[in-house]
Amino acid sequence: MTNVVNKNETYTGQVIDFTHEGHGVVKFDRFPIFVPNAIKDETIEFKVIKVKKQFAIGKLLTIKEKSQDRIEAPCEYYKECGGCQLQHLSYTAQLEMKKEQVVNLFQRKSHFEDTVINNTIGMENPWHYRNKSQIPVQKNRQGEIELGFYRQRSHTLVDINHCMIQDKKHDQIMNKLRTMLEQLNMNIYNEQKHKGELRHIILRSGYYTEDTMIIFVTNTKQLSHKNKIIDYITNEFENVVSIKHNINQEKSNVIMGKTSYTIYGKDTIEDQLAEYQFKISDTSFYQINPQQTEKLYNKALEYAQLDGEQTVIDAYCGIGTIGTYMSQKAKHVYGVEIVEEAIKNAEENAKINHVENATWEAGKAEDIILKWKKEGIKPEVVMVDPPRKGCDQTFIETLIELSPKRIVYISCNPATQVRDVEILKEAGYNLKEITPVDMFPHTTHVETVALIEKN
Ligand SMILES: C[S@@+](CC[C@H](N)C(=O)[O-])C[C@H]1O[C@@H](n2cnc3c(N)ncnc32)[C@H](O)[C@@H]1O
């Protein structure tokens, strides 16, 4: 069989679409060639570097006709660093592309033609939005300590001094910590050998408060130079209210281990969303873009259409943020979350925010929802916000048996969301409306909130 394209040969073609990874798609005889950095509507010259049965990969050589949406990426590390993928695309085009991906998934690949798909809700200033920086620490060949982010599809670091999407405070902390680690001659983890000590440094900050937490993740049970580290940080930084030591001895890509100790200050940091205060532990999930979180939750609340009479379930509730938002307009909120520490935060957060009509339970959503069903709890509205893999099959089955009038489904992975909504459709639910919200500007991640109603 002759190939449509051959490896190492050069071709010219028009980019007709984007993949979900933000790569341009050129098609010859319906055979797709994915070309990183190419933009829809551009005519490009590219070299084929890989040919597979179903697709090929191309390397962009020259742009013959440039898209109006192409811009100069403002970050000096953009070409090397794998943290952002879309800085060469204007922000307006990024928002359109994210909507287009939702349209593709729900209306072209599935059959939700009657669903209203709104424009992506973007940020006014889409920079420095990340309140959490997970920074790998490595030693380079010269023995120097590097802090930065991984190159695309690799585990080697780009040593960086600043990042345009993380909280500005984090640049300064990261740079000073690099100097501190050099001065202490810190033992750094070697991933290939699974030996050594310090693996990651995680910085978490409040957006509306100045609180910062620094977490040292080690492959060892001890954190060397602990007291010197605490002295250095407390002398250098005013707003660090908590320093943690987390132990991760697993040989895996998971960043944090299960055991954490507070080695200085508080166990939590605080942040504010709308008029509510939230305490956040190191192991608890908290949305990484608080400005957009308010817009996301407001949309979710609008979709929930509460008038004070409804019993509501907040499934996959984290530290109880959405549940707290809904409690003002609900009769009672039941929240469930798998991370026990997050449920402790949710209980404390309810007290701080004077929420008296909420019950929080730690456990798997699929188990607890079944227990609630057996106890006779009948929700009119269910809010779900699962991790990337989507909802568990048994969770959806119980949800269907509970038969709520309305389901509001927040997702950070529309591919699993569409799969789950298909099952709900079979069971008599109608996907009325979806709104993409840009929680992760300059990256290819798409977040959506969907309104699903019983027919
Ligand atoms: C995308 S986060 C949403 C959290 C929260 N709704 C928010 O907006 O901050 C998903 C949450 O689901 C939790 N989780 C993952 N698997 C779960 C399960 N099987 N049952 C309950 N919670 C789970 C995670 O720990 C995480 O807190």
Note the CATH number of domain 10-65. Answer: 2.40.50.140
Mean pLDDT of 241-247: 98
For the segment 274-289, what is each residue's pLDDT rounded down to a tens digit? Answer: 999 999 999 999 999 9
Q: pLDDT over 90 for what percent of the chain?
A: 96
Note the CATH number of domain 132-273. Answer: 2.40.50.1070
Q: Which two tokens stand for residue 393?
A: 């099959």
Question: CA–CA distance from 95 to each of 121, 169, 297, 441 (Å)?
Answer: 8, 27, 19, 9
Mean pLDDT of 231-244: 96
With 60 as the cut, is the pLDDT of residue 1 above it?
no
Domains 10-65 and 132-273 share a fold: yes
> Taking the domains of the chain in order of start, what are their residue ranges?
10-65, 99-124+289-454, 132-273
**Which residues define the annotated binding site for S-adenosyl-L-methionine?**
287, 316, 337, 385
User: Active-site residue 412, yes or no?
Assistant: yes
What is the per-residue pLDDT for 76?
Answer: 95
Share of the chain residues as helix, strand and coil, in percent rounded to the nearest 5: 25, 35, 40
Query: What's the chain's average pLDDT?
Result: 96
Q: Please tell us whether the domain made up of 99-124+289-454 is placed in CATH 2.40.160.60.
A: no
For the segment 69-89, what is each residue's pLDDT rounded down to a tens digit? Answer: 999 999 999 999 999 999 999
The finding on whether 364 has its CB within 6 A of some atom of ligand 1 is yes
The finding on whether 349 has its CB within 6 A of some atom of ligand 1 is no
Q: Measured over all CA atoms, what is the biggest interatomic distance in the chain, rounded to whole angstroms? A: 70
Atom 27 of ligand 1, residue of closest alpha carbon:
318
What is the per-residue pLDDT for 255?
Answer: 96
What is the per-residue pLDDT for 223?
Answer: 97
What is the per-residue pLDDT for 154?
Answer: 87
Q: Where are the alpha helices (DSSP H) in 284-364?
A: 290-304, 321-327, 340-352
With 90 as the cut, is the pLDDT of residue 224 above it?
yes
Find the length of the chain. 455
Mean pLDDT of 429-437: 98
Q: Which two tokens stand for residue 227?
A: 């007291």
For the segment 100-127, what is each residue's pLDDT rounded down to a tens digit? Answer: 999 999 998 898 999 999 999 999 999 9
Q: Which pLDDT band holds residue 2 (cuts at 50, 70, 90)? A: low
**Rounded to whole angstroms, how far apart are CA atoms 27 and 113?**
26
**Short-list 254, 395, 290, 276, CA closest to 338:** 395
The finding on whether 337 has its CB within 6 A of some atom of ligand 1 is yes
For the segment 382-391, what is each residue's pLDDT rounded down to a tens digit? Answer: 999 999 999 9
The finding on whether 285 has its CB within 6 A of some atom of ligand 1 is yes
Q: How far is the CA of 408 from the centre of ligand 1 (A)?
A: 15
The finding on whether 387 has its CB within 6 A of some atom of ligand 1 is yes
Q: Give me the phi and psi of 36, to 5 degrees please.
A: -55, 145
User: What residues form DSSP beta bridges with 313?
Assistant: 334, 382
**Rounded to whole angstroms, how far apart are CA atoms 235 and 238?**
8
With 60 as the cut, is the pLDDT of residue 372 above it?
yes
- Eight-class DSSP state of 105: I
State which of 285, 344, 412 you would mutate to test the pocket of ligand 1, scoring each by most atoms of that ligand within 8 A of its C-beta: 285
What is the per-residue pLDDT for 152?
Answer: 84
Q: Which two tokens stand for residue 329?
A: 């307009």
Q: How far is the CA of 350 from the centre of ligand 1 (A)?
A: 18
For the segment 125-136, what is each residue's pLDDT rounded down to a tens digit? Answer: 999 999 999 999
